[in-house]
Structure 1
Amino acid sequence: MARKTVLVCDKCGAEVGDGKGAVMRITFTDARRGARAADLCDACAGAMPGNAVARRGRKPKSAS
């Protein structure tokens, strides 16, 4: 018997399709509190506050 894992958005409760959605991870500055993670659908992830974080590493030669 095969099993299928269904991912559900923690904010709105909608089912998230394969290859869609995001995981939001919150880390506290106080290490004793640990970290929290939430699975989000594309609509909920786009509405979340925050700024985009730049990717690490060198910039491509064509961009400089």
Structure 2
Amino acid sequence: MKMKGSGTRFDPVCDMNVTERDVTYKSDYKGRTYYFCSFECMKRFQDNPEKYISIHGREAKV
């Protein structure tokens, strides 16, 4: 989820905020881009994206 004006993105797997310009790991799902702090978080999301979307009760707004 993009935090307005902050230049950070929310990692839905570990709840970490990552700096948008430093993000290396991204994954598209259902037309939205999700950003991750590490390969491990990205892989966990890709294995079961609905789990991480439903845990937080929200989808990334990009």
Report the TM-score, using the length of structure 1 for normalisation: 0.38
Q: Which has the higher helix share?
A: 2
Q: Which has the higher strand share?
A: 2
Report the TM-score, using the length of structure 2 for normalisation: 0.39
More RCO (CA 8 Å, sep 6+): 2
